[in-house]
Structure 1
Amino acid sequence: MRRLLALTTLMAGLPFTASAFAEAPFSFASAPGELPKNVIPTAYMIDITTDLNRLSLRGKETISLDVASPSRSVTLNQAGLKLSSARLDNGMVAAIRQDDDAQTATLTFAQPVPAGHHTLAIDYTGPIIETPNGIYIDDYKSPDGKPRRMLVTQFEVADARRMFPGWDEPAFKATFQLNVTLPSKDVAVSNMPVTATTAAGPDAKRVSFQTTPRMSTYLLALVAGDMSAVHGNGDGTPIGVYAPTGLQEQGRYALGAAEKILPYYNTYFGTKYPLPKMDMIAIPGNYQAGAMENWGALTYIDNVLLFDPHNSTPHTRELIYEVVAHEMAHQWSGDLVTMGWWDNIWLNEGFASWMEIKATDKMNPDWDIWPRQHDAREHTMAMDALPTTHPIQQVIHNVSEANSAFDSISYGKGELVIRMLEGWLGEDTFRDGMRIYMKSHAYNNTTSQDLWDALARSSGQDVGRVARSFVEQPGIPQINVALTCQSGKGVYTLTQSRFAIHDPHPRALRWNVPVIAGGPGLETRKLVLGAQPATMTVPSCEAPLKFDLGESGYYRVHYDTRALAPLMKSFATFAPVDRANLLGDQYALFEAGEATLSVYLDLTSALPGENERDIAVLEDVIERLDTINDAERHQATRPAFQDFARRVLNPTMNRLGWDPKPGESVLDDMLRPSVIAELGELEDPSVIAEAQRRFKSWQTDPASLRANLVAPVTGIAARHADDATYDFLATKVRNAQSTEMKLRLFNALAHVTDPALIERNVELTYSGAIPDGRIAMALSAIAAESGNPDLVWQLVKKHESEIRAHLAPWSQDGLLAGVARATSNPAIAEQLKNDPASQKTTGARIATARALDAIGARTAVAERIQTQTRQWLASHGD
């Protein structure tokens, strides 16, 4: 048996400039936030009565408080509520002053409230809204076409204050006992099991739930409506999957996933899931969050929880597994142990993003999940290379800023940094550190430093010195590799710099980078590269030593000409993940102006035709070819480039064919739609003709087209659509009851290119055909896919007030930026910059700055693409 032995870890030049954060372990007294900390809630008893016809609620709550020092005033959160009375158990009645802009209510008493324990009773009323945040209604059609109304909550980041007044910040953990009066026919689900149901009138009932463990307000949940469930069990914990009645059987796949994942997590974290049940609830359509980890009552937009054997695809199957694994990971990292403030949201999201892939890979090894994270890595690094990136851990001042932190840096970079730390420390050591972390901080809050301390205890390494360099400062390290030949041996010298795109003056930074290197016939080596150069020596000057082996590190690698040459020669002998990594780094270096496009195109043209079967490699190639093809729009060289790109992809298309073959792998079945769709973009005549033929058959016989091919076939048809084709697809979008099918067909319609049809598409988004929570995303898709983003911008501005009426606050912030970022027109960029809505909130200003950054970077890169593609084609006879 052959083993790859790692050398003893080297610490090369570890010191770096101290972070501005200098974060300490969690302390409630010093945790950031907007509320005073002199009054602390310990328990809530909440009783609400809903009126789903008038869209209103009446509430009574009793809050147990600990008052640290005598005070005449108590300040807590509310948003849109009307507090009618507030009184203490000693009879003191408060004067109430509400600040709706600050989303607070201040209760002032005639005498100071003594220090000690008190009970505060509040009566209030409020609206049940229609946009997908806070407590809201979701109107949908049942499987038999009848109108239905569901009551839903979505409280993260700070919308619990829309259902009850309280201390709506994550550090203020308390217990919650919820009671709700609602229509008698509705099934109600919350974090804990039901303890009692009593009649509350001819058509109403009052449902009471058990008291929750100590937790943050944003994790409380309530969903009620015409629901049914399938039930199972994971490691002794009852698990239910709820869905609109008639669709519950589609929850069995997610149920099976949860039954496998829960025992794995119980073992991994060393702390068993602590609640008496775990329910997962499918929300039909109008659920912007995508999925939410409410403790014991996990909520999902229905297309990432329900699997329809007739209409769902292999990608859907995989997505469901990953999202279920993600939200279940939060039951520990996020719910049991919660970040102290939103500056550490990555502790929740980065960790859960990493854990979802780890668990999915564990249960489904044939899906080849880790190599396919290459795509997520490239998208994350593309954002992190721009001037408007931010540290994973950043200062968050308010709720609007907090919403903007739910991005590729918190999720994607957080995941990749955790994976890098696990690779450096070893799987078992990292797991042992996580067990220490969970046991030490259960039912409490943490900062990143608490995690570093736990990992240091398990590993004996100064984990914080490495981790903080990635978490507390922005950007990407670039490892520069220079090869010299000394006495027949290859000596590699490593230095580091900062990798940046479209940043004329990037701030000089230094990281402590865990580097892994190896290659065919070479032992695997590890070191931690700091400010000082480091060297590695291999037996031959021609040995292909590759860095970031296995693509487990968060850094770019820039090889000098001599170091790159052996890798180019041995490209086909590396594992697929390393081939994808080399491709990704070479294209990124071109974007940064540190390499020519010819290196990437040479590697691509050297792919061994139909013998290149790896999905991670081919999807990298497809994405880059698509980017170049888009940049070549209106260029005389575009037909020649498209001819080259078709030659690259046609061997794979010939191998796969349009229909699956006996014994075909699931990965080939996932790859096929991507290849077909891209060949359609590349104007491949045979692919377009076959797609059109299959589309016509599908129009009369939906069963004639496999679910996996609906997206590429309808997308190609939409790109070439006339009025009749558009009408057919738009009608299908309006009438689709399945969110999965509705969004799939709308994404196809986003490809229409006729200006008149683009205008109809924009109107379709806010006509009621698309769920409110997906409108902003749909408009961004039209701008990106239609090839006419400037027209989409003009149409969105024309109908802006109508569109905004459907949007939740966090969609409001990013609406215009999401549409404008697809443009290359400086006039549109200027309009975005100067639009009052772009400066209205902190979140809007952040979204605008990022969009302007992306526009500038893409425009500059497109110019280089056009010049260097022309040169490469000329030199290669194309």
Structure 2
Amino acid sequence: MRRYLVTAIALALAGVSMAAVADAPKASTAVLTTTQLPRSVRPTHYDVSVTPHAESLSFDGKVGVNIEVLQPTTSITLNAIDMKFSGVSLMPVGGKKVMYSAPKVTVDAAAQTATFTWAQPIAPGSYQLSMTYTGKIGTQANGLFVIDYDTKAGNKRALYTQFENSDARRFIPSWDEPAYKATFTLEATVPAEQMAVSNMPVAQKTDLGGGLARVRFAPSPKMSTYLLFFGLGEFERATTQSDGTEIGVITQKGAVSQATFALDSAKAVLHEYNEYFGTPYPLPKLDNIASPGRSQFFGAMENWGAIYTFEYALLLDPSISTQADKEEVFSIAAHEMAHQWFGDLVTMRWWDDLWLNEGFASWMAARTTEKLHPEWNTALSAVDVREGAMERDAIATTHPVVQHVETVEQASQAFDAITYSKGEAVIRMLEGYVGADTWREGVRRYMKAHAYSNTVSDDLWREVEATAGKPVTAIAHDFTLQPGVPMIRVEAAACTAGKTTLTLAQGEFTKDRPNKKPLSWRVPVIAQAVGATSPVSTLVSGGHATLDVPGCGPVIVNAGQSGYYRTLYAPAQFAAIKDSYAKIAPIDQLGLSGDTWALGMAGLQPVSDYLDLVKATSIDADPQIWGDIAGKLASLDSYYDGDATRQTAFRKFAIARLGPVFIRIGWQERPDEATSVKILRIELIGALSKLGDPAVVQESLRRYKAQASDPKALPAALRKSILAVVARHADAATWDQLHAEAKVEKTPLVKDELYGLLSIAEDKALAQRALDLALTDEPGATNSSGMISGVSRSHPELAFDFATAHIDQVNKKVDSSASSRYYPMLAATSLDPAMIGKVKAYADAHVAAGSRRDAETVMASIKYRVQVRNERLPVVDAWLKKNGH
């Protein structure tokens, strides 16, 4: 599903003996899988027929399921939500014709199941279970749902499906668990003039008269229910070919030209993946379907042969799209296409191993982005991904990469930074440990061994280890079966005879448990002296290690940044590194900055050390270094909210550092500038706006007002950025003008953006107006929840109190998959200790006891933020005073 723009760098690590890692955490070898359904019946094929009634938000369904009854039973239980059954029958396949009377139908809404009970027992064997039913069409992205959108030709309505993780049961009564793979044949009765699309090509279209047609799609391969897709609307399709596969992009009519980059990218990525996986893409076509609207839960979905992607993540509108948008489009497509193998062809057995899908797809997308677009210089993004994972992994409410999932709600909550970003970072580290070619060969073996079936994580480790001849499984268990972030302390560094001997100790980095007993990891460590060309490596096992590094200068631990750990240097070592900061490779500058920031905010080293690095950064440093600094300074500024005097002093320093960088690159894009500079320009405008830089705010307002007479005032590459500055600093008249523009806009991609901008005003009264607007039908059913989230970034208390006070109305505008996390996340940036109690009260009242991880994480985050404000900001204040601010 959703992914991150990152890259992977493979660095070969020295081998270690099997004995050194023999007692790593062990994965369970049990074959039983957590399930909500009995194991007595197994589906093998679904024949599905649906007739949607988009105007009444309902549909008629009929399905015949070929099943295998594995043991005698009098009942069959499967998954179903919001369905009414008008007929259920059971017929043996082959052999003696036994007539079964109509069963008793029992629906359990809480368990999301339907049970059919017969008077006589059903013997083991093959049967066809036939069901006739009606279902509901939703207005949020769950099950079968509608998206309404404006066009110049009027309002339109399209239908799409979204089934991950557990919503196929809203469309078909089914065994809606990933291990119950089956084949599918889908047919639909639809308006004849509309285009219907599914996982497979159309096999037959029959005109029924009266403006209707029956569309039948070719049978699918064996796959999990959550990968089935159906879409219907006034669409158009562009196609190309890659390695014998037809690749398509499907959009609303009139928008297909905006998909050219996505289509060309898919062609290149498919060829790359066919080669990498060693198993050709097995379906005859691969479509990517662009949908207006958005979701609070996901941006794109890897349905086999029919990827679903919201327009903002797939199309490039020449009036508003940026270089960052272009790179994101590529990354998202590469992520979802990686799933066609890792997730679709080979699927995790249960949601415990969701990371096998998401972590791998994220890593694969990063690797492929770097390979196919080296001009984007995305290598440093891997550090950002790791930082995002560690931010989440360092608090008490973290969880292992391989996690225990029992309920639908817990499965939905598994789509988080640990699953995606930590999973990706661990893969990157292990690929570096065994070598890129060896890793690829292991993945190829895994694909061939498990095609069209289900796996657990150890199935992957087994194949890589067999190829590498190294103890991959033991190290992988350390990083995936236990939570947390290792921390490598560089306790001593002594130089003799032209080499520096490091003494290393392994602890654990935690933000909120200073006295926690550290867990133990086997940590692959790479180190390199500043200015040297050859890194060396070791495995920190048993908590300690020594490492000899050629050279006598300052030494960077985690050189190349492939490791998943924090590095804490002794003060003298840090001082030496800081003095040589400009000589360090950009990726190590970024890694050192990330460690220093996190360790400083957690109180493990002075937070002023980070400010020293900011001061030491040259104006011509890598644009991604300055982009990271801009983000961190804007984040630190938020801790001063409500304290104008101290915030003014901090902003003086932040603007003094960022302003000259922005002046250097300027407002005007240069013909041959690097893509990273284009992105930095946007990042600096955003950060300086948040910091209240008068020059950026006033110039943005001038350009906004001048757009009617000067077409160059709002160039497409800066339009979103300038509008965001205007919206953030809007007065009532400006907000009204933006609102008027949103109401008349007919392009969904732009319209959605404008309504989002209405929610980011710093003015509290305007934020309240945005909240009130979000409860109306005007913004569009899928934009309202995003507007409330937008308000929460500057006004978390206001947004949370509003949403919980109007919970029945807001619930209708939030994906059910996201509901347990949506409300707590509104409070995530709060500095008010009272919000901890409010979030807890919400969770106690509305979230099942076993599904409160997200609420507990937000509570821990607020507590941590208050601690940072109280304990770290005085250190920052002292540094500012000492340095003339």
Q: Report the RMSD for the aligned CA atoms in angstroms.
A: 2.0
- For residues 551-603 of structure 1, give each alpha carbon's deviation from its aligned partner in whole angstroms, at most 9, with x where no partner exists: 11111101112332332222111111110111110011012210101211111
1:153 aligns with 2:127: no
Distance 2:851 2:554 in 1: 47
May I ask how many residue pairs the two structures share in their alignment? 865
Instruction: In structure 2, give the amino acid aligned to 1:661.
Output: R
Unaligned runs of 5+ in 1: none
TM-fit CA distance, 1:743: 4.3
TM-fit CA distance, 1:719: 2.9
Deviates more, 1:87-96 or 1:335-344: 87-96
TM-score, normalised with respect to structure 1: 0.95
TM-fit CA distance, 1:797: 3.1
Distance 1:399 1:449 in 2: 24
- For residues 232-267 of structure 1, give each alpha carbon's deviation from its aligned partner in whole angstroms, at most 9, with x where no partner exists: 011110011000011111111100000100010001
TM-fit CA distance, 1:37: 1.2
- Equivalent position SS for 2:177: coil
TM-fit CA distance, 1:791: 2.4
Structure 2 counterpart of 1:677 = 686
Instruction: In structure 1, give the amino acid aligned to 2:27.
Output: A
Distance 2:391 2:592 in 1: 16
TM-fit CA distance, 1:749: 3.3
1:400 aligns with 2:409: yes
Tell me, yes or no, if the aligned pair for 1:839 and 1:845 is still in contact at 8 Å: no
Tell me, yes or no, if the aligned pair for 1:492 and 1:536 is still in contact at 8 Å: yes
- Equivalent position SS for 1:390: coil
Structure 2 counterpart of 1:311 = 320
Structure 2 counterpart of 1:858 = 865
Deviates more, 1:164-173 or 1:371-380: 371-380
CA gap of 1:219–1:350, structure 2 versus 1, over 3 A, is same
TM-fit CA distance, 1:739: 4.3
CA gap of 1:470–1:234, structure 2 versus 1, over 3 A, is same
- Equivalent position SS for 1:503: coil
Tell me, yes or no, if the aligned pair for 2:537 and 2:547 is still in contact at 8 Å: no
Alignment of 1:708-719 (within 5 A): 708-719=717-728
TM-fit CA distance, 1:13: 8.4
Alignment of 1:671-750 (within 5 A): 671-698=680-707, 704-750=713-759
1:552 aligns with 2:562: yes
TM-fit CA distance, 1:703: 5.5
Instruction: In structure 1, give the amino acid aligned to 2:44.
Output: T
- Pick the aligned partner of 2:813 from 783, 806, 814: 806
Tell me, yes or no, if the aligned pair for 1:776 and 1:818 is still in contact at 8 Å: no
Deviates more, 1:676-685 or 1:663-672: 676-685
Distance 1:750 1:184 in 2: 40
Distance 2:709 2:326 in 1: 27
Structure 2 counterpart of 1:250 = 258
Structure 2 counterpart of 1:578 = 588
Tell me, yes or no, if the aligned pair for 1:71 and 1:113 is still in contact at 8 Å: yes
Instruction: In structure 1, give the amino acid aligned to 2:48.
Output: I
Deviates more, 1:667-676 or 1:694-703: 694-703
1:768 aligns with 2:777: yes
Structure 1 counterpart of 2:536 = 525
1:9 aligns with 2:15: yes
TM-fit CA distance, 1:707: 2.0
Instruction: In structure 2, give the amino acid aligned to 1:608.
Output: S
TM-fit CA distance, 1:505: 4.5
TM-fit CA distance, 1:774: 4.5
Deviates more, 1:696-705 or 1:220-229: 696-705
- Pick the aligned partner of 1:187 from 180, 186, 195: 195
Unaligned runs of 5+ in 2: 1-9, 92-97
CA gap of 1:6–1:331, structure 2 versus 1, over 3 A, is closer
Tell me, yes or no, if the aligned pair for 2:24 and 2:477 is still in contact at 8 Å: no
Alignment of 1:511-522 (within 5 A): 511-519=521-529, 520-521=531-532
Structure 2 counterpart of 1:341 = 350
Distance 1:636 1:109 in 2: 75
- For residues 276-320 of structure 1, give each alpha carbon's deviation from its aligned partner in whole angstroms, at most 9, with x where no partner exists: 111110011145531010000111001111112232111111111
TM-fit CA distance, 1:205: 1.1
- Equivalent position SS for 1:820: coil
TM-fit CA distance, 1:802: 1.8
TM-fit CA distance, 1:486: 5.6
Alignment of 1:103-502 (within 5 A): 103-142=112-151, 144-287=152-295, 289-485=298-494, 487=496, 489-502=499-512
Distance 1:570 1:347 in 2: 40
CA gap of 1:860–1:517, structure 2 versus 1, over 3 A, is same
- For residues 74-103 of structure 1, give each alpha carbon's deviation from its aligned partner in whole angstroms, at most 9, with x where no partner exists: 111101111222211132132211111111
Tell me, yes or no, if the aligned pair for 1:339 and 1:445 is still in contact at 8 Å: yes
Distance 2:764 2:494 in 1: 60
Distance 2:350 2:316 in 1: 35
Instruction: In structure 2, give the amino acid aligned to 1:353.
Output: S
Tell me, yes or no, if the aligned pair for 1:387 and 1:506 is still in contact at 8 Å: no
CA gap of 1:743–1:577, structure 2 versus 1, over 3 A, is farther
Structure 1 counterpart of 2:661 = 652
Distance 1:185 1:233 in 2: 26
TM-fit CA distance, 1:773: 3.8
- Pick the aligned partner of 1:619 from 614, 627, 640: 627
CA gap of 1:567–1:256, structure 2 versus 1, over 3 A, is same
Deviates more, 1:393-402 or 1:198-207: 198-207
TM-score, normalised with respect to structure 2: 0.95
Instruction: In structure 2, give the amino acid aligned to 1:380.
Output: A
TM-fit CA distance, 1:378: 1.8
- For residues 365-392 of structure 1, give each alpha carbon's deviation from its aligned partner in whole angstroms, at most 9, with x where no partner exists: 0111121232232222111111111111
TM-fit CA distance, 1:626: 0.8
TM-fit CA distance, 1:12: 10
Distance 2:342 2:218 in 1: 23
Distance 2:849 2:322 in 1: 39
Distance 1:334 1:86 in 2: 32
Structure 1 counterpart of 2:875 = 868
Tell me, yes or no, if the aligned pair for 1:404 and 1:843 is still in contact at 8 Å: no
Distance 1:838 1:325 in 2: 40
Tell me, yes or no, if the aligned pair for 2:633 and 2:654 is still in contact at 8 Å: yes
Tell me, yes or no, if the aligned pair for 2:246 and 2:285 is still in contact at 8 Å: yes
Distance 1:432 1:264 in 2: 15
1:639 aligns with 2:619: no
Instruction: In structure 1, give the amino acid aligned to 2:812.
Output: A
Distance 1:855 1:12 in 2: 43
- Pick the aligned partner of 2:856 from 845, 849, 857: 849
Distance 2:823 2:23 in 1: 38
Tell me, yes or no, if the aligned pair for 1:403 and 1:843 is still in contact at 8 Å: no
Distance 2:186 2:573 in 1: 64
TM-fit CA distance, 1:838: 5.3
TM-fit CA distance, 1:722: 1.5
Structure 2 counterpart of 1:795 = 802
Deviates more, 1:344-353 or 1:309-318: 309-318
Distance 1:860 1:647 in 2: 27
Higher RCO (Cα < 8 Å, 6 or more apart): 2
Identity %: 38
Distance 1:22 1:719 in 2: 49
- For residues 95-129 of structure 1, give each alpha carbon's deviation from its aligned partner in whole angstroms, at most 9, with x where no partner exists: 21111111111111122111111111111111212
Instruction: In structure 2, give the amino acid aligned to 1:602.
Output: D
Distance 2:123 2:270 in 1: 46
- Equivalent position SS for 2:146: strand
Structure 1 counterpart of 2:29 = 24
Alignment of 1:63-74 (within 5 A): 63-74=65-76
CA gap of 1:654–1:492, structure 2 versus 1, over 3 A, is same
TM-fit CA distance, 1:844: 5.6
